[in-house]
């Protein structure tokens, strides 16, 4: 456990951070919103003294067998073959790969799995993974929406396979619906998937009546709504579902593109909303999950909005 400098009796949360230089080498086309500058902005803001308590770690490579927790072997093999030796190769209209994309994707998954290990083995109470490419749009057999592998889904399965977790809650506050995570866990009642997202918006999924095996909770938000609507959706749909489910681990698909500065959507949140939502999930984790929270970076495309929101989120993880 980490202790505050002011007194040996004041406990602070042990918060770990995973990132890696190779995440900057996953190259996207000029002008693409999911760009290396996103991680540079996060790195700069986390250099502030307010984050001195972060336990900073290098993202490890995933065991490639863990990719099969969420994706079939032939799909994984096809994606590996798609990685070019030079230049860029399009996977779809929005998603491309470059020579270092395979390593970046493996380290994004590896960091997510290592974060799960950390919280179950007592090496940290919570973990934030600053990685790219993101993951929540990656379906079982389709890479899309800037995403190659579904990091959150693989991490949830890793918790079950490696640590015997029975119930995992994935909470996705990215402004775009996590169609990939919903696809992977559609008929699996051992994983609760809760999503707040703008609708209508890419990818077009996430209606309230999409419920899977009763384990899917969608809370679509109308364009140009803001804090009050977002918090009401959290209070009335997401948090009650978590309370009923009583998870062993909470995984956050932490997209920050619902920030009012973001160019890809029209939900008007600010960093205080992400601080609040983080605190609400930490309260639930303290009650049911021995404080276990793993947060994985998803979207967020305005650098100022992204960095200020990540700062608020990570401060809350540290503060408890």
Q: What is the pLDDT of residue 8?
A: 38
CA dist., res. 25 & res. 240, Å (int): 40
* Percent of all residues in the chain with a pLDDT value above 90, rounded to a whole number: 95
Span 224-238, average pLDDT: 98
Determine whether 33 is exposed, middle or buried from the number of CB atoms within 10 Å of its CB (0-12, 13-18, 19+): middle
Span 76-100, average pLDDT: 98
pTM score: 0.95
| Tens-digit pLDDT profile for residues 269-311 | 999 999 999 999 999 999 999 999 999 999 999 999 999 999 9
Q: What is the DSSP letter of 47?
A: T
As separate numbers, helices (DSSP H) first and strands (DSSP E) second, the chain gives: 9, 12
Q: 258: Cβ–Cβ under 8 A, 6 or more apart, which residues? A: 173, 174, 175, 196, 198, 221, 230, 265, 267, 269, 273
CA dist., res. 319 & res. 317, Å (int): 6
User: Do residues 255 and 298 lie in contact, with contact meaning Cβ atoms separated by under 8 Å?
Assistant: yes
Active site residue 137: yes
Instruction: State yes or no: pLDDT of 3 exceeds 50.
Output: no
User: What sign results for the dihedral spanned by CA atoms 150, 105, 253, 283?
Assistant: positive
CA dist., res. 100 & res. 149, Å (int): 15
User: Do residues 43 and 51 lie in contact, with contact meaning Cβ atoms separated by under 8 Å?
Assistant: no
* Catalytic-labelled residue, pool 137, 158, 197, 313: 137
| Tens-digit pLDDT profile for residues 41-72 | 999 999 999 999 999 999 999 999 999 999 99
Q: Which fold has domain 15-319?
A: 3.40.800
Q: 140: Cβ–Cβ under 8 A, 6 or more apart, which residues? A: 70, 71, 72, 75, 180, 183, 184
- H/E stretch holding 318: helix 303-319
CA dist., res. 100 & res. 280, Å (int): 37
């Amino acid at each position: 456990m980490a202790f505050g400098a002011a007194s040996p009796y004041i406990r602070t949360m042990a918060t770990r951070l995973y990132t890696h230089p190779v995440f900057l080498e996953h190259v996207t086309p000029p002008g693409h919103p999911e760009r290396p500058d996103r991680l540079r902005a996060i790195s700069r803001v986390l250099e502030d003294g307010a984050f001195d308590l972060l336990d900073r770690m290098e993202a490890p490579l995933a065991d490639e067998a863990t990719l099969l927790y969420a994706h079939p072997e032939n799909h994984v093999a096809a994606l590996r073959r798609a990685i070019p030796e030079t230049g860029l190769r399009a996977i779809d209209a929005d998603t491309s790969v470059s020579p270092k994309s395979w390593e970046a994707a493996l380290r994004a998954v590896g960091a997510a799995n290592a974060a799960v290990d950390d919280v179950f083995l007592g090496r940290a109470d919570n973990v934030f993974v600053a990685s790219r490419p993101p993951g929540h749009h990656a379906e079982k057999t389709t890479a899309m929406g800037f995403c190659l592998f579904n990091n959150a889904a693989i991490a949830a399965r890793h918790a079950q396979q490696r640590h015997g977790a029975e119930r995992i809650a994935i909470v996705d506050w990215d402004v775009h619906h996590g169609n990939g995570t919903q696809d992977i866990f559609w008929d699996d009642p051992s994983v609760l998937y809760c999503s707040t997202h703008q609708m209508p918006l890419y990818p077009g999924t996430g209606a309230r009546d999409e419920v899977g095996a009763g384990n899917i909770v969608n809370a679509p938000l109308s364009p140009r709504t803001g804090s009050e609507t977002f918090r009401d959706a959290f209070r009335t749909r997401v948090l009650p579902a978590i309370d009923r489910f009583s998870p062993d681990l909470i995984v956050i698909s932490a997209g920050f593109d619902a920030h009012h500065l973001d160019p890809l959507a029209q939900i008007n949140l600010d960093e205080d909303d992400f601080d609040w939502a983080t605190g609400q999930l930490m309260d639930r984790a303290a009650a049911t999950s021995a404080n276990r929270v793993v947060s994985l970076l998803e979207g967020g495309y305005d650098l100022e909005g992204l960095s200020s929101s990540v700062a608020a989120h990570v401060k809350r993880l540290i503060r408890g």
